[in-house]
Amino acid sequence: MATLLWDPWREVRRLREEASRLFDGTSAFGLGDLEFPPVTVSRTPDHVVIEALLPGVDRETLDVTAAGDKVTIKGERKPERDVPAESHHRRERATGHFVRTIKLNERLAADQTKATYRDGILRVELSYAPEARTHKVAVNG
């Protein structure tokens, strides 16, 4: 008959594994390791476009700033006013303040930034700074 040795760290590891499964790595916004808001960044020859998914966020709470090569999006998703918190059976859409900074590694003309918010999507259009734009150089003989 084999004798099992007691390992005091086994219970600590088991507790840690159960806590990991329970929380499943989720953040306050229920998006796992993803940041909120989720964004799509696309580039054209003249602009960088950031689209952020912000369902349920009032436009008045949004604050977008551009400086150097970074864009910061701040805002707040408020809870539903007509539904008391104790009546929720399950609520996976978190509420509260959020901040997301996107580093673009491009010099931007911050003063030419445009932002629109429609149907829960924030669209930020940024122009490249003049010194960051590509210029075609003629080769003479």
- What is the residue extent of each domain of the chain? 31-80+93-132
Judge contact between 113 and 102, C-beta under 8 A: no
What integer is the mean pLDDT of 43-54? Answer: 92
Domain 31-80+93-132: assigned CATH number: 2.60.40.790
Q: Say what the pLDDT of residue 59 is.
A: 94
Q: Give the Cα-Cα-Cα angle 114, 117, 119 (nearest 5 degrees).
A: 150
Q: Which of 63, 55, 96, 62 is nearest to 78 (CA)?
A: 96
Q: Say what the pLDDT of residue 2 is.
A: 56
Q: What is the pLDDT of residues 62-107, one digit of tens each?
A: 999 998 889 999 999 887 777 776 776 777 777 889 999 999 988 8
What integer is the mean pLDDT of 122-134? Answer: 83
- 98: β partners: 75
Q: What is the pLDDT of residues 24-39, one digit of tens each?
A: 544 444 444 457 899 9
For the entire predicted model, the pTM comes to 0.66
Q: Say what the pLDDT of residue 31 is.
A: 44
Instruction: Please state whether beta strands 63-67 and 47-53 pair in parallel, antiparallel, or not at all (unpaired).
Output: unpaired
